[in-house]
Chains A and B, each alone.
Chain A
Amino acid sequence: MGNAPESGDEADPDAETDGGLRAYTVRLELVDEPGELLRALAPIADNGGNLLSIHHERGNITPRGHIPVEVDLECPPDRFDDVVEGLRDAGVNIIQAGAEHYGEAVSVVLVGNLVETDLSNTLSRIEDEADAVVQDLSLAAPEGTNGISSARARLAIDSGRSGDVLAAIRSIGTDKDLTVVEPLLGGEA
């Protein structure tokens, strides 16, 4: 509410490709020398990646005596391999690279015979079919586990995929006869 500026819905059209943007986390290890960090980041931008955050763990040392750095970036899925290759070409040691980081969070409330319909199966289906990660779950079962209960799940998803994710959860809800209360997307709620 109020006069907060609107967050624009459209992403930079140049950055958008057919596959949309996806968030990735890359763990690197750097030699503790001046200029190393900058040298490691350049190949990311050069290959079309957009840096989201950099966690430079100066206090930690890897077994090989290097400094671990965690970089969150966003890029079209078909560019990610180029980013990784660019880093390797630059002689940067990559510990881990993958789509393990998610750009957005949405909450949904599920209502129904959650226990009887196997809540843990429901959650794994959400993770598999909606491609989301359940970060947090609250369950309220005032009638006991055999009655109607409610669960609120906070889901981490890739940026810009909330519509698809919610559609997938909706269809899981239909399958299992659960009411899915979705967040209202769009507009200034």
Chain B
Amino acid sequence: MRLAILGAGDVGRSVADLAGEYDHEVVALADSTSAVVDPDGIAVDDILERKAGGETLGTASPDDVFDTDYDVLVEATPTTLGDAEPGFTHVKRALEADRHVVLANKGPVAERYEELRALEADSAGSIRFEATVGGAIPVLSTIEDCTPQAVTAVRGVLNGTANFILTRMAAEGLDYEHVLGEAQDLGVAEADPTFDVDGTDAALKFVILANVLADGGFSLADATVEGIQSIPGSALDLAAEDGRTIRLIGEATRDGVRVGPRLVPENGALAVTGTRNIVQIETRHAGSLHSSGRGAGGPETATAVLSDVGRLPPL
């Protein structure tokens, strides 16, 4: 497949970097200011080196990407809330041109799911978005394999930063502010960690899961979301006395989405440590399935994008 990649952050660059291994060709790569386009395939290594050196990607404008001949648009621009722009318009343009779209950007799938599905219905192309939930962990494809109707709920930890902070607080008896500072020094938490610690990032993922289970109907506004900022070290100590710990747990069912700090058994499956993520897929006929792994990171998320590309039908 010929890939046109929008977004040259960690994920976009890793998709470009790994595409060759998956036998795909990158014909365009764009960030918010410039683009490089070549119908015969761009020289990925040179361009990534240039970008790393602080230079622009190329001389083309990001808009030129849509005029090139590609099969799959990879939407890896930063997640935005509300109208989910410009990501949504990118997806719309590609579908209207009868191209496939693979998203790593959570915004359009969480906030405007029904509109995306309506555009897809009128297009020869289709959309896939495994990379929006749980990074490298195959969550959506597992649900697809079980068939969404047979899945009654999805629960789990889908934010590595919040999980890291809670793990460290419990292990070291430290308070939130202290551990957050440490996480920022380690690069585990961003300079502005708001969306990770207030539950928004996890909520977007569980909204997407609820949309998949119920075939739409949810956006971030429908989710009940609580963060971990108000959890002191003493709460984790008390939980530990009872053989439990606190994790930022999300739950998605057909009835709704809830994300918040919850008590879970200290040695239970959901009490993953560090930045690790886990999902528990509760099925009607087969009990619970657990998948755990790296929920973020450039190459990790890129593997989910490229697996999605591999699942697309030929155009």
Contact = CB atoms under 8 A, between A and B. Distances in A.
Contacts of B239: 109, 152, 181
B264 interface: yes
A150 B288 contact: no
A183 B239 CA distance: 10
Interface string A172-183: 000000010111
A150 B282 contact: no
B235 A181 contact: yes
Contacts of A150: 232, 234-235, 237-238
Interface residues of B, number: 32
B269 A189 contact: yes
A189 B241 contact: no
Interface of A: 1, 6, 107-109, 111-112, 138, 140-142, 148-152, 154, 179, 181-184, 186-189
Nearest to A183: B263
Nearest to B247: A184
A181 to B, nearest CB: 5
A144 B238 CA distance: 16
Contact of B153 (A107, A112, A141, A187): A187
Contacts, number: 90
A112 B230 CA distance: 8
A142 B174 CA distance: 12
B267 interface: yes
Contacts of B313: none
A152 to B, nearest CB: 4
A108 B282 contact: no
A114 B68 CA distance: 62
Contact of A181 (B153, B241, B251, B261): B261
Contacts of A179: 226, 230-231, 261
Interface of B: 153, 155, 226, 230-235, 237-239, 241-242, 244, 246, 249, 251, 260-265, 267-270, 280, 282, 287-288
Nearest to B268: A189
Contacts of B242: 107, 152, 154
A151 B238 contact: yes
A1 B238 contact: no
Contacts of A112: 230
Contact of B155 (A142, A148, A149, A187): A187
B238 A184 contact: no
A150 B288 CA distance: 32
Contact of B231 (A138, A142, A181, A189): A181
A186 B155 contact: yes
A151 B264 CA distance: 16
A177 to B, nearest CB: 10
B224 to A, nearest CB: 10
B246 A181 contact: yes
A149 B234 contact: yes
A188 B287 contact: yes
Contacts of B251: 184, 186
Given A108-B263, A109-B235, A150-B238, 6 more contacts: A111-B235, A150-B234, A154-B242, A181-B260, A182-B263, A189-B264
